[in-house]
Structure 1
């Protein structure tokens, strides 16, 4: 597997917990799991693959730390790197902006030269709209740990297995 760094922004701890669960499932060392508020270009560029996680806040907004984190990533040389995204959201209370922040990360990086992996079929989800979804797929792993916490571990396990094949 490519040298992989996991970067997350977490306000309540949910996205951090998911980042650590993903690291465990993929065999990524704890030292390679980073709060996005503490990253710099050199750290980002030291990895061949990046797994980026955010929660969605307000009316479909990025988690606060990602505003500066996205600028750091946009300033890094990402050409040739592989990027996978995961997002946490609330598909019941915010059905019309479910995991939008994951889509905002995608939009912010789609012209960087990186290759995105880890798209997930959206047919197993209940939501009304998301900028993170198109053509029946999310751009990454969407999670609703508020209303569907019983599905988080299975979804992460399936996604990790998918990524192991895509991160070689």
Structure 2
């Protein structure tokens, strides 16, 4: 059974915290955490099962003055990756109170970068139980990954992650 690569960014915040929760739910030795800040296409090639974790940062994403994020740099490596046989799931952090019109938009942005690759995208979630106004992270009535709001609903994170992992185990064929 091959390890799952959890690629996350940014480091040292809620995205990394959720990566560690996912790691603990899968169990020791079954996943490898990789900060996208330090990763390239060779790191992606090591795994057939991938989880991408990112945040929808807010104003900086809609401000042309913002600096590139770790993900902006990392996605430039995607065209060098052989996506055939890879399964990719995503989780996204958002703030449904402060940014209800852009809740977990990053899931949609990442989906757009992956949808025309040979990767199989898995791990979609129902919108039930979430409060928001709009999201680019939704397609065909489902979130394109696991939405997490650590700012306002951190008490729901463990259960949401656990339920998601239980589905991913089947979707990953793990």
Cα pair distance change 1:31/1:158, threshold 3 Å: closer
**Are 1:60 and 1:97, in contact at CA under 8 Å, matched by a contact in 2?**
no
Q: Conserved in 2, the CA contact under 8 Å of 1:122 and 1:137?
A: yes
Asked if the contact 1:104–1:131 (Cα under 8 Å) also holds between the matched residues in 2, the reply is: yes
Q: TM-score, normalised by structure 1?
A: 0.92
Q: Using the TM superposition, give the Cα deviation of residue 24 of structure 1 relative to its aligned residue in structure 2, in angstroms.
A: 1.2
Q: Distance in 1 between matches of 2:21 and 2:11?
A: 17
1:142 aligns with 2:142: no
Choose 65-74 or 20-29, whichever is displaced more.
20-29
- What value does the CA root-mean-square deviation take over the aligned residues? 2.0
Q: Give unmatched runs, 5+ long, in structure 1.
A: none
The worse-fitting range, judged by mean Cα deviation, of 86-95 and 73-82 is 73-82
For the 8 Å contact 1:60–1:98, the answer to whether it is kept is no
Change (3 A) 1:84 1:31: closer
CA distance in 1, matches of 2:90, 2:43: 18
Aligned to 1:76: 81
Task: Indicate the residue corresponding to 1:157 in structure 2.
Answer: 162
**TM-score, normalising length from structure 2?**
0.89
Task: Tell me what 1:25 maps to.
Answer: 25
Secondary structure at the counterpart of residue 166 of structure 2: helix
1:4 aligns to 2:4 (yes or no): yes
- Please say if residues 123 and 136 of structure 1, whose CA atoms lie closer than 8 Å, have aligned partners that are also in contact: no
Q: Secondary structure at the match of 1:61?
A: helix
Larger Rg: 2
1:17-166 pair list within 5 angstroms: 17-27=17-27, 29=29, 32-59=32-59, 61=61, 64-166=69-171
